[in-house]
Amino acid sequence: MIDLQIQSSLTDPSLLVDTAYINGQWCSAKDDATIDVINPSSKKIIATVPDLTVDQVRQAINDANTAWKTWKSSPATERATKLANWYQLMMDNQDDLARIMTLEQGKPLQESKGEITYAASFIKWFAEEARRINGETHPAPTSDRRLMTVKQPVGVCAAITPWNFPAAMITRKCAPAIAAGCTILVKPADLTPLSALALAVLADRAGIPAGVFNVVTGNAKSIGETFTSSEIIRKLTFTGSTKVGSLLMAQSAPTVKRLSLELGGNAPFIVFEDADIDEAVSGLMISKFRNAGQTCVCANRVLVHDKIYDRFTDSLVNAVRTLKVGDGFAENVTIGPLINENAVAKVRAHIEDSLQKGASIAYGEIPSGDDLFVTPTILRDVTTDMLPATEETFGPLAPLIRFHTDEEALKIANETPYGLGAYYYTQNLKRAWHVGENLEFGMIGLNSGVISMDSSPFGGIKLSGVGREGSNLGIEEYLEVKAWHIGSL
């Protein structure tokens, strides 16, 4: 089911579909079961998508395996061309794709357009990388031998993707898989399957053969179990919580799958006393409030040196005042709704816990309404025992923690089991090196609030996961290295 009024508001209504995409075919669930897709802004149902049966998902895996037998030996130029077509189609349909995203995810339309460009950039990047899958020759121990390595696709892959970036997390995983010669099944988040299905429409138009890219919608637990228990699926890639990531890791153990896991974070954002305060505030605004604070690399703990604490707080309050909360389609809105009630409750709990333990509100308020809109809020005098310091908030809350020395800042920053993103602002070269080398995170931004892009490896250490996406490394996750020994020469 699709809201027809919404469908007709698109330039190309055929991009909004309510059926799964398996082996080049559009299909409903065998038992006609469906899952509701809700607009978080209005809380109204905008569509339903199939809740596929286990048998249908198993059949999709078999079909992807059959498709792999041909795709794995397709020329690199063919894979590159088809990916480049897909990229172009995404850019040509950017406005419609953005509308679909704002409808199901809530982020402001301008931000959705930005995500479509970001998502498409991974397809372009890996279309180019497809032609650079190089092997090596190695010195052989004797003159009658030769030794070389070749790289080959790992096989059928599965991706489980999150609701916070309904398009970019799909392309960042699927484009390298397809470029490498793998086939892939995507299980999009139940909350945002429409963007995934729109991408499938375009993949089909781009000439990506049946079975190479598939979108299976339905129950997350059952599809996760079907993927992890399958002997055909050789690689699983997941973005989401550490709890679910470690469960998938355990479930994948019996079939010894390759894994890429991009899990939770608790990013510190450190502002040293010699920082350019205006730059630090701008960087924090991007890092903290992108997608209403619902990203794994959002600044979660803002550490500010005592000497500039008040000045920084005042500048930040002035910047946050300019944010406009509302429906993602309304003009000038910069903060859309949070994804659901649990997300709002978490922000509320973090503010309340901090206030009870002695923090105060520098700007904003405790969320109180029935809707999913949350005022961006700044807390001052936050200490390391308060909830925002120990847990990822995943909402528009900036807790300001005071520090006095570099070592204290580093200690607080690293005092987390997570290690995804970290940011720090300083003009001092010696400090910049020392802090950079000692931050225990997979990605660090020095005087930059932006650390996500096609050309940079994205991923974390510790409980934040394993593997890297994007960059020259992203495609390696989908390739096996075969050592080839030649004797008797």
Contact residues toward ligand SIN (CB under 6 A) are: 164-165, 168, 239, 262, 295-297, 452, 458
* Amino acid identity at 126: F
In angstroms, give the least distance from the CB of 33 to ligand SIN. Answer: 29
Query: Helix, strand, or coil here: 9?
Result: coil
Taking CB atoms, the residue at the shortest distance from ligand SIN is 452
Nearer to ligand SIN, 453 or 483 (CB): 453
In angstroms, give the least distance from the CB of 265 to ligand SIN. Answer: 8
Max distance between CA atoms of the chain, in angstroms, equals 78
Nearer to ligand SIN, 300 or 426 (CB): 300
In angstroms, give the least distance from the CB of 465 to ligand SIN. Answer: 10
Identify which of 294, 316, 309, 304 has the alpha carbon closest to the alpha carbon of residue 269. 304
Identify which of 424, 159, 71 has the alpha carbon closest to the alpha carbon of residue 270. 424
Q: Which of 182, 296, 392, 469 is catalytic?
A: 296
146-153 and 156-160 beta bridge pairing: unpaired
Count CB atoms within 10 A of the CB of residue 180.
29
Q: Which of 115, 129, 262, 273 is catalytic?
A: 262
Give kind and range of the element (H or E) at residue 76: helix 76-92
The full DSSP string for 349-391 is HHHHHHHHTT-EEEE-----SSSS----EEEEEE-TTSHHHHS
In angstroms, give the least distance from the CB of 60 to ligand SIN. Answer: 25
Nearer to ligand SIN, 165 or 272 (CB): 165
Nearer to ligand SIN, 87 or 458 (CB): 458
Decide if 408 is catalytic. no
Nearer to ligand SIN, 21 or 122 (CB): 122
* Amino acid identity at 129: E
In angstroms, give the least distance from the CB of 101 to ligand SIN. Answer: 14
Give kind and range of the element (H or E) at residue 94: helix 94-105
In angstroms, give the least distance from the CB of 173 to ligand SIN. Answer: 11
Decide if 296 is catalytic. yes
Residues 173/252, Cβ–Cβ less than 8 Å:
no
Phi and psi at residue 337, to the nearest 5°:
-70, 160
Identify which of 333, 296, 339, 272 has the alpha carbon closest to the alpha carbon of residue 452. 296
Nearer to ligand SIN, 59 or 447 (CB): 447
* Amino acid identity at 188: P
Catalytic residues: 262, 296
